[in-house]
Structure 1
Amino acid sequence: MTGLLGPAEIRELAARLGVAPTKRLGQNFVHDPNTVRRIVAAAGLAAADVVVEVGPGLGSLTLGLLPGVHHVHAVEIDPVLAGALPDTVARHADGAAARLRVHRADALRITAADLADPPPTALVANLPYNVAVPVVLHLLAELPSLRRGLVMVQKEVADRLTAGPGSRVYGIPSVKLAWYAEARTAGRVPPNVFWPVPNVDSGLVAFTRRDPPVTGVPRKRVFEVVDAAFAQRRKTLRAALAGWAGGPDRAAAALVAAGIDPTARGESLTVGQFAAIAAWAAAGRPGAQ
């Protein structure tokens, strides 16, 4: 892996482009080649993989990814950075530019049709902190070809995404990611590898796609139950799901039918149990909505 960008190259490139990192877009550029190598290695990519990278910025991670994969789709919302990335790749990764396609787009609005040629198999990205969870969930929902990924996010977000039932930080992001994939932590990243330096640590989250629970109900219905269950974390599920079910007694009936104690709380349930509650409602039991 050659031609990676160090601190001097990152600042020189930013100055030449007239780019200053903005908090609005969550821009923190990786300037440490060893960190890039670590991310690429942890992603476990194969030569046939097609990677979607969200927020490539100045191209640090893009340059690390291109040598070992078939193709990279780089999705960048900043028009200046999107326009400059092909030239950066041409300068630092001879022969790799043909395997890069830059999409000037918002990752939250990208579709499978946008990335169809060729369809991505892996997500590898240093995600902007402010949209990390929505981006991961959107791409997993939108891109059925996506089989695995490795994302760098704020350490607190990494903990939430990988938490299991019973954990203090288990919540909506944990359950919704579990619908799509099995996730695990893949390491911590210190602030000093970024420019500008954030005031928090980052964490790596690895995930592997798996089949969702078999319930016969749409994902949207299951996620409605999840959202309701965690809207008031301290309440029992009987109380928290009252609005969703049409009253606490109906919520209790749904929970008992799904084999769940009505006095339990949302943080104790697996994604399969949330799906079972939604399935009870979809089956048209008395009073269900």
Structure 2
Amino acid sequence: MSTEETPQRSSDAAAQGRGSADALLGAAEIRSLAARLDLTPTKRWGQNFVVDANTVRRIVRTADVAGRDVVEVGPGLGSLTLGLTEAGARVAAVEIDPRLAELLPETVGRKQPDARLEVVHHDALTIESLPFAPEAIVANLPYNVSVPVLIHLLERFPTIDRALVMVQAEVGHRLAAKPGSKTYGSPSAKVAWWGPWALEGDVSRQIFWPVPNVDSVLVGFRRGPARGSEELRRATFAVIDGAFGQRRKMLRQALSGVFGSPAAATEVLERAGVEPTLRGEALALDDFIRIAEAGPAR
């Protein structure tokens, strides 16, 4: 893991940098930086770089994280990073590509000399520590790992009380889905543990380079009331996994692997006040929590 930090910017310096066209990256400069690295964006790491400064500033305004401590996943060449630091956020940028991790401090230092940035060269799926306790996640998440990354960060860093991420539209709709909808599933129920999620904006394909084959959306949450202990969360997630692992089956059958048999699952469901003939997509997070609490001693 490598980190690099620059001194905290003063409020005067921040004010001077905000709104300046030179403070962010444009499309030509992004392509120039990629050419310098001989970089071809890869599907393996979900690399699609944002090339529109107006979109960057819209994302930062929507996130409402000015002056806060933010973790960004997959900063790439620095488009969104510069938008966050321009707003006065302190950013821990987690980048898996060593070339990008090495270049980012130089780019940000050149565009915004007083920015507060630490670059962490690491896989966000396995990261266990950051230079500071983040209060928010703001990121253009790689499409192929967006949900696992979100859940890992929320599990690992309990100080996070706000998230706004740009993801594939299908994933965003799934994260914000409500029980009973066609898109509701395991990710919907799990992320609700930390608070209610909602769609917060659409994103044009044309603001990316290369242009992806899918649409994107902004989806986010603000932390809700505490749900319970870490032990209860793990038990609840096991129930969610069981319910959606065989989503066409009734809960008494789908949860037989969790509780030992259909008869045992039925007994737990009845104690929880949940009809055993329902299916997982009909249950809200509170229902899954009641089932976990009614199950065998954890």
Task: Show the counterpart of 1:102.
Answer: 119
Q: C-alpha distance in 2, partners of 1:122/1:70?
A: 10
The number of residue pairs the alignment matches comes to: 278
Q: C-alpha distance in 2, partners of 1:92/1:161?
A: 35
Q: Is the contact made by 1:51 and 1:69 (CA closer than 8 Å) also made in structure 2?
A: no
- Flag structure 1 segments of 5+ consecutive residues without an equivalent: 285-289
1:104-139 Cα deviation digits (max 9, x unpaired): 00111112xx31x43111100000001100111011
Give the Å deviation of 1:218.
Answer: 2.7
Q: C-alpha distance in 2, partners of 1:140/1:82?
A: 23
Q: What are the residue-to-residue correspondences of 1:201-280 with 2, within 5 Å?
A: 201-214=215-228, 217-280=231-294
Q: 1:19 aligns with which of 23, 34, 39?
A: 39
Give the Å deviation of 1:217.
Answer: 4.5
Q: What are the residue-to-residue correspondences of 1:22-37 with 2, within 5 Å?
A: 22-37=42-57
Change (3 A) 1:8 1:173: same
Secondary structure at 2:220's aligned position in 1?
strand
Task: Show the counterpart of 2:62.
Answer: 42
State the one-letter code of the partner of 1:19. L
Q: 1:7 aligns with which of 24, 27, 31?
A: 27
Q: Is the contact made by 2:65 and 2:89 (CA closer than 8 Å) also made in structure 1?
A: no
State the one-letter code of the partner of 2:235. R
Task: Show the counterpart of 2:73.
Answer: 54
Task: Show the counterpart of 1:91.
Answer: 110
Q: What are the residue-to-residue correspondences of 1:167-178 with 2, within 5 Å?
A: 167-178=181-192
* 2:86 is the alignment partner of 1:72: no
Give the Å deviation of 1:214.
Answer: 4.0
Secondary structure at 1:274's aligned position in 2?
helix
State the one-letter code of the partner of 1:50. D
The CA RMSD measured in Å over matched residues stands at 1.5
Change (3 A) 1:136 1:216: closer
Change (3 A) 1:94 1:109: same
State the one-letter code of the partner of 1:153. V
Change (3 A) 1:59 1:215: closer
1:229-287 Cα deviation digits (max 9, x unpaired): 00111111111112222221211111111011111110111111111111111348xxx
1:215-234 Cα deviation digits (max 9, x unpaired): 78432211111001001111
Q: C-alpha distance in 2, partners of 1:105/1:140?
A: 17
Q: Is the contact made by 1:123 and 1:151 (CA closer than 8 Å) also made in structure 2?
A: yes
TM-score, L = length of structure 2: 0.90
Give the Å deviation of 1:187.
Answer: 1.1
Q: C-alpha distance in 1, partners of 2:147/2:229?
A: 24
